[in-house]
């Protein structure tokens, strides 16, 4: 028999998905930092390397954004379930106080804003990579 989720289980699920999102964003920032550090330390221009880095970063950014969107949708589903969770008469008073305190703080950002921020960061990162390549080429000439 499949167990029924409790209100506590749903809240835990919401925060589990929030933690997953935090890890995806942390990985994203670490990768961008590493790419920009690698690119800034390169002495000579190399168009092929810059193209390869751009393509690989684009693949990573695409998959990372997909994981962020999927986890966000799961978090929205958990939040909807939290808000719609039925109360029994026995726990209605205490649970209403918990709900009134907790639920207003569960306010995830809209998917469109998250996507736009990620894509803008992707573009800025790629522009920075190519700007460094251009600077190296000018310095060599």
Domain boundaries defined on the chain: 7-86+110-140
**pLDDT digits over 41-69, tens only?**
887 778 899 999 999 999 999 999 999 99
Label residue 140 by pLDDT band (50, 70, 90): confident
pLDDT at 18 over 50: yes
Average pLDDT, the chain: 90
- For 129, counting Cβ atoms within 10 Å of its Cβ (0-12 exposed, 13-18 middle, 19+ buried), the class is buried
State the Cα–Cα distance between residues 110 and 6, nearest whole angstrom. Answer: 26
Cα separation values, 77 from 12, 104, 126, Å: 13, 16, 33
Label residue 1 by pLDDT band (50, 70, 90): very low
Task: Return the higher-pLDDT residue of 140 and 30.
Answer: 30
- For 133, counting Cβ atoms within 10 Å of its Cβ (0-12 exposed, 13-18 middle, 19+ buried), the class is buried
> Helix or strand or coil: residue 78?
helix
User: What is the pLDDT at residue 99?
Assistant: 83
pLDDT at 87 over 80: no
Tokens of 16: 């589990």
């Amino acid at each position: 028999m499949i167990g029924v989720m409790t209100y506590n289980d749903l809240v835990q699920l919401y925060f589990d998905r929030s933690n997953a999102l935090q890890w995806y964003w942390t990985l994203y920032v670490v990768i961008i930092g590493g790419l920009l550090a690698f690119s800034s330390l390169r002495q000579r221009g190399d168009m092929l390397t810059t193209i390869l880095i751009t393509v690989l970063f684009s693949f990573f950014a695409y998959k990372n954004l997909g994981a962020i969107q999927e986890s966000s949708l799961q978090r929205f589903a958990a939040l909807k379930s939290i808000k719609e969770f039925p109360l029994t008469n026995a726990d209605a008073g205490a649970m209403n106080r918990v709900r009134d305190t907790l639920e207003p703080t569960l306010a995830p950002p809209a998917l469109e804003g998250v996507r736009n921020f990620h894509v803008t960061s992707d573009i800025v990162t790629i522009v920075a990579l190519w700007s460094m390549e251009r600077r190296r080429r000018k310095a060599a000439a």
